[in-house]
Amino acid sequence: METMFDAEPIFPDRPIRVAVTGAAGQIGYALLPLICTGRMFGMSQKVSLHLLEITPALTALSGVAMELEDCAFPVLESILATDDAAECFKDVDVAMLVGSFPRKAGMERKELLSKNGAIFQSQGEILEAVASKDVKIVIVGNPANTNALILSYFAKSIPVQNISALTRLDHNRTVGFVAKKLGASVNNVEGVIIWGNHSSTQYPDVSNAKVKGFNQSIVEAMGGVEYLEEAMIPFIQGRGASIIAARKLSSAMSAANAACDHVRDW
């Protein structure tokens, strides 16, 4: 059976250029190995990493670059580590905009808007000027949907369908919840939908979901509409806050995995 690692290269004759902002942060640190082990583009596609950090984090970024070199990843062709966004985004094919002011305990994503809006305005302007015109952009930094809108406004020549906000984490959380509730494998769950923003107002929808081995309605199998409204939906809506309460840090490993899934399946 063909796997994601067997995928044909997107650019057979050159490495794909991938920008990752906030590359020395928790999500970036978890994301980079996924890119370099072929989880995102397959083992046949060489990768050139363009890593961006704020100036005070450049020393930490140099350590991340050292570790990437020490891993000797077969697909990793080159690493650019910089605090210059124009240098980082030059001719990139994929831009993963992870770097942003992090959400802290008690904060709603909308509270991040004033801090992160200016960041994504600037990055939109620079991507507009120097990135590949076919660049695919994933906004991970919250509020992701609003940041994507801001960026698209300032990157008008980049097709809007090439600019997306990360909602795959909510999707993966819902798939995991359904699988655990029904004692099924996550590989056997399909048809989950997330409506709305990546926020506490999102609506996880399993009304059209299917699980291999279950012939009845998944809504019924999980306990009916009342259970979904009282248990599952609030669980998914508040999962990020629960992780912050437990770790004292926002989601990193799961967010990186979701970002990888998002680009791989795009």
In the residue annotation, 198 being an active-site residue is answered as yes
Helices 58-71 and 26-36 meet at what angle, rounded to 10? 30
Concatenated DSSP letters of 130-144: HS-TT-EEEE-SSSH
Q: Which of 50, 171, 198, 262 is catalytic?
A: 198
Specify the residue for token string 């124009």: 86
- b/e burial code for range 37-58 (CB count within 10 A of at least 16 → b): bbbbbbbebbbbbbbbbeeebe
Q: Which residues contact 193 (CB under 8 A, 6 or more apart)?
A: 171, 204, 205, 206, 208
Q: How far apart are CA 88 and CA 83, in angstroms?
A: 8
What distances in angstroms separate CA 107 from CA 114, 131, 200, 245, one per listed residue?
13, 33, 11, 11
Active-site residue list: 198
